[in-house]
Amino acid sequence: MSNLETIVEDTAVELLRIAATELPVEYVEEMDRLMKETSGDVGVSQIKNILEDADIARSGSKPMCQDTGIVAFMVKIGDEFPLRSKLKEILVEATKKATERVPLRPNAVDMFKGNTGNNVGLDGYVPIIYWDLVPGDSMEIIAMPKGGGSTNVAAHRMLKPGLGITGVKQFVVEAVAKAGSLGCPPYFVGVGVGGGEDLCMKLAKNALLKPFKVRNSDPKVAEIEAELYEKLNELKIGAMGLGEGPSVLDVHVEMAARHPASLPVGIVISCWALRHAKATIGADGTVEIDTSA
Amino acid sequence: MEHYLKTPVKEADIRKLKAGDLVYITGTIITARDEAHLKALELHEKGEEPPVSFTGRGVFHCGPIMKKDDDGKWQVVAAGPTTSARMEIFQDNFIEVFKPAIIIGKGGMGERTSKACQKHGCVYGAFTGGAALLAARGITDVEDVFWLDELGMPECFWVYKVEKFGPMIVTIDTHGANLTADVGAKVNENRDRIMEEMKK
């Protein structure tokens, strides 16, 4: 293994450790603030438990939740970055190592052969890796392990284009209400609109990773995000679906052009433990880790 | 109200609990998710019994992260609750057959489980979802493990000794209350109102 290959592998393992054990401080601070606004012992107790759990996780470097999820990496490779096709092998290896070292729960289940024991699928699709080519000589990796509970409440629908933006917003309200208590609220909500049946889901997942509380650069989309944030909290799902405290911590909407006959909408929901960590690795092997929300 | 229960919990003590009460358990709880429920019930139908008793004990909807220490003994790393709704399809049957005192999970359960709780004297205790290290703190010993090779770490039976494990909020009691379902009904009312307002 070349030196750079080792650096990429070690960095990917470290990103999975950070993601699983250190909840971004911005989320912690926001929940702490919202706890103080919560009336009702049940709601307060749930957020208090979350914050205490996140604190034990960070100080002890232990996974905040036993469901350390299916591992996904979002990778941007610079044109001049020395490693290319080798990267997949490296990220797969990093996933196996992180499973042992962090440790992560083995969550890759083969339909016929059962749990693979190392978070790597037998058919080459898991860990999930998204590739993007960009200018420059560095690479960026985001590790995003996502749990099953909130993954199960994702929603997808091909709307009639005539329903327009109102239809999109209604679908989001419907989907989050349906998620209810099931996916460990308070939630982060990612919405993808347009692009096609597949791209809208990818946009929705990516939307979860957009900077916390920063609204879309398009003022019209920003307005939809703000409205959805308000309305989704009016559902009053509450922390853990017990009716008290916040229902939703943030909402991001991503839009893509659509086919004239289609209005695809994807909704990806994260539990309170929205886990991710990012690193930029230079061609010279320098590593910069970014743990911001 | 706070209650400190010791397993095996007597049915009469379970029937004293009311939705909204806080519960802590000392004694034995056993993890079981989809596949363990299914396999235990299949065995029972064939006239055989699962390798561990649930009577008067806690059933914990949890797929933990476990690690062997240097002496080869299993240690809990993280053990929070999983989404209980998945077990709704067989929980009533499980309660009737194996008579657990408390089902521990997150997200609440439905009508079938609620009816079985009323009939057979069982409650549902909601533990904060994701709070896996808080839960692990209440587990003092890993007494046994069954079906690990066959079902894997998240799905097998882990038998835990627990000390003041909690707090759980009783959301389904033996008197017909179901807090999560009540919240869900209100959420649906809010949803209908919000969706209607969005049309304007």
HEC sequence for A76-128: EEECCCCCCCHHHHHHHHHHHHHHHHCCCCCCCEECCCEECCCCCCCCCCCCE
Contact B132 A104 (CB under 8 A): no
Give the structural domain span for B145.
2-199
Contact A64 B132 (CB under 8 A): yes
Interchain CB contact of B63 with A (< 8 Å): yes
List, for residues A84-108, the tens digit of each pLDDT value. 999 999 999 999 999 999 999 999 9
Within 8 A of B186 by CB-CB distance, chain A residues are 236, 243
Count the domains in chain B: 1
Buried b (16+ CB within 10 A) or exposed e, A141-154: bbbbbbbbbbbebb
pLDDT at B76 over 90: yes
3-class secondary structure, A166: helix
List, for residues A159-194, the tens digit of each pLDDT value. 999 999 999 999 999 999 999 999 999 999 999 999
Contact B132 A117 (CB under 8 A): no
Domain of B89, CATH number, reads 3.20.130.10
Over residues A223-244, the mean pLDDT reads: 98
Answer yes or no: are the C-beta atoms of A192 and A200 closer than 8 Å.
yes
Mean pLDDT of chain A: 97
Answer yes or no: are the C-beta atoms of A189 and A269 closer than 8 Å.
yes
Res. B180 pLDDT band, cuts 50 70 90: very high
Answer yes or no: are the C-beta atoms of B58 and B26 closer than 8 Å.
no
For residue A64, give how far its alpha carbon lies from the nearest alpha carbon of chain B (Å): 6
Q: Is B120 a catalytic residue?
A: no
pLDDT at A1 over 90: no
Alpha helices in chain A (DSSP H): 3-21, 25-37, 41-60, 86-101, 148-151, 164-179, 199-207, 219-234
- The reported pLDDT for the residue numbered B22 is 94
pLDDT at B160 over 90: yes
Instruction: Report which residue type is found at A14.
Output: E
In this structure, are strands A187-193 and A248-255 parallel, antiparallel, or unpaired? Answer: parallel
Res. A2 pLDDT band, cuts 50 70 90: confident
Answer yes or no: are the C-beta atoms of A45 and A110 closer than 8 Å.
no
The span from the CA of A126 to the CA of A91, in Å, is 10
Enter the pTM of the model: 0.94
Within 8 A of A152 by CB-CB distance, chain B residues are 83
In percent, the amount of chain B with pLDDT more than 70 equals 100
ipTM value for the complex: 0.94
Over residues A140-160, the mean pLDDT reads: 97
- The reported pLDDT for the residue numbered B200 is 82
Q: Which of B67, B126, B130 sits opposite A64 (nearest CB)?
A: B130
Q: Which of B83, B128, B186 sits opposite A236 (nearest CB)?
A: B186
